[in-house]
Amino acid sequence: MTTTLIHGGTVISATGRQELDVLIDGETIAALIQPGSTPFGPGLAENVDHLVDATDKYVIPGGVDAHTHMQMPFGGTTASDTFETGTFAAAMGGTTTIVDFAIQTPGTAVLDTLGQWHEKAAGNCAIDYGFHQIIGDVNADSLSAIGQLITEGVSSVKLFMAYPGVYYSTDGQILRAMQRCADVGALMMMHAENGIAIDELVAQHLERGETSPYYHGLSRPWQLEEEATHRAIMLADVTKVPLYVVHVSAKQALEQIATARGNGANVFAETCPQYLYLSLEEHLGAPGFEGAKWVCSTPLRSRAEGHQDELWRFIRTGDVTGVATDHCPFCMKGQKEMGLGDFSKIPNGIGGVEHRMNLMYQGVVDGRMSLERWVQVCSTEPARMFGMYPRKGVISPGADADVVIYDPHARTEIGLGATHHMNMDHSAWEGFSIDGGIAVVFSRGKRIVDDGTYLGSRTDGRFVRRGVSQNLI
């Protein structure tokens, strides 16, 4: 097998940092070696196949993005990134594992839809991948299938309190699904917004002629996210199921989660870079139809109300378990422009799978969090949350050699040029500048990115059969 020694770097883990050399043997990490020691005898550097200099750089576990939507059908169109293009972009940005969503819609069988997503992804992924299962039709058959999902390595189920007529589940259906997940050890994921009330607000805005993208945000106020989050927590408490609330954008919703966690509940929060950096006023409120670039659900929140700062605080306190992207890209031309004159028809989604690691590192530079917390929320905790640890999310002997060498002295200018590989005609992050950058990316021991050059293949990625969550109390 091929051997690689990464030497001279500082290994960053969720619990600390240390100057260590990393020995890779084939697809796994073989050893962590203190500089100057010779546990394998003298001459190790001369006898490995590849020697990689990481002097003055950080060596971190590859990013784990636990929330993506490649090739997702939505609102009469399909997300513009395929598994091939989306995972290529992820690799360029230092993410080495994604967990995407297979989607069951009414009238289809859960396991059939999982099979369809396997067909989309197999042989078309630059990095490793797993699946969550969306259940859009809660009935006896779909509930029964949850047990089979566990044996298939799909240990998390997602329901929606939003989108009536599409994915929406009633409280009774949610209760039944939570009971089933609790019985078989599955994790319940929830899109927590009060969809019934939102649809009424949408109709009222349109009746008044308020059709621009800005009203997407106003029609989904934070109160309806907080209310749904609290309701999901209470239903989870009744059923004793672990609950993971996706893409939390409102500080009040996170306060509900923090309170539940403080009371000892297995409740977990995910947020996304867009909710940390972007805002209702500056982005959804951009002139003309420009705000459509940033239409997503949950929506961007008001900076004047302090949501962004509070979400960063909840990351520091540990009440945010993981930072994902909810990567669901749509082009402006032919897709977002479907909502010209009616914001409710704009496909919901922002592209970001390529930029998460850099954007979150900027939070370190800005004093928002520590290096260790950066690694924890971007790699280690997602791997633990979704049953992939210690194979993923950590630099440790026996783990997959998913390794990123990060250069804190680099500078990354985000835009449609060299730092944009997603299949989109715009960038939600155009003009952002990062005080750092991806230098080298290894996926299971194979160097797939080196100084901005892609060295991998669309067939490099493998399906990850996940176990049950390892993050429960």
pLDDT of residue 39: 72
- Whether the Cβ atoms of residue 277 and residue 249 lie closer than 8 Å to each other: no
CA–CA distance, 187 with 171 (Å, rounded to integer):
17
Query: Above 90 in pLDDT, residue 14?
Result: yes
pLDDT of residue 199: 98
Q: What's 468's DSSP letter?
A: S
CA–CA distance, 269 with 327 (Å, rounded to integer):
17
Task: Find the mean pLDDT for residues 164-174.
Answer: 96
C-beta atoms surrounding 348 within 10 Å = 20
| Tokens coding 276 | 């940390």
CATH of the domain at 214: 3.20.20.140
pLDDT of residue 57: 98
The distance between the two most distant Cα atoms of the chain, rounded to a whole number of Å, is 77
The whole domain housing 356 covers 1-472
User: Residue 385, CB half-sphere, CA atoms under 13 Å: how many?
Assistant: 32
pLDDT of residue 318: 97
Predicted confidence band of residue 41 (pLDDT cuts 50, 70, 90): low
Query: Above 90 in pLDDT, residue 234?
Result: yes
pLDDT of residue 323: 98
pLDDT of residue 45: 84
Distant-in-sequence, close-in-space partners of 404: CB < 8 Å, separation ≥ 6: 59, 60, 61, 62, 63, 94, 96, 357, 438, 440, 441, 442
Predicted confidence band of residue 38 (pLDDT cuts 50, 70, 90): confident
pLDDT of residue 35: 86
pLDDT (tens digit per residue) in 262-289: 999 999 999 999 999 999 999 999 999 9
Query: Above 90 in pLDDT, residue 373?
Result: yes
pLDDT of residue 37: 78
pLDDT (tens digit per residue) in 97-141: 999 999 999 999 999 999 999 999 999 999 999 999 999 999 999
pLDDT (tens digit per residue) in 190-224: 999 999 999 999 999 999 999 999 999 999 999 99
User: Which string of b and e fits 127-138 if b means at least 16 CB within 10 Å?
Assistant: bbbbbbbbbbbb
pLDDT (tens digit per residue) in 421-448: 999 999 999 999 999 999 999 999 999 9
Query: Above 70 in pLDDT, residue 54?
Result: yes
Task: Find the mean pLDDT for residues 334-349.
Answer: 98
Beta bridge partners of 463: 129
Whether the bond between 329 and the residue before it is cis, its omega within 30 degrees of 0, is no
Q: How many domains does the chain have?
A: 1
pLDDT of residue 259: 98
Q: What distances in angstroms separate CA 164 from CA 72, 196, 200, 451, one per listed residue?
A: 18, 7, 11, 46
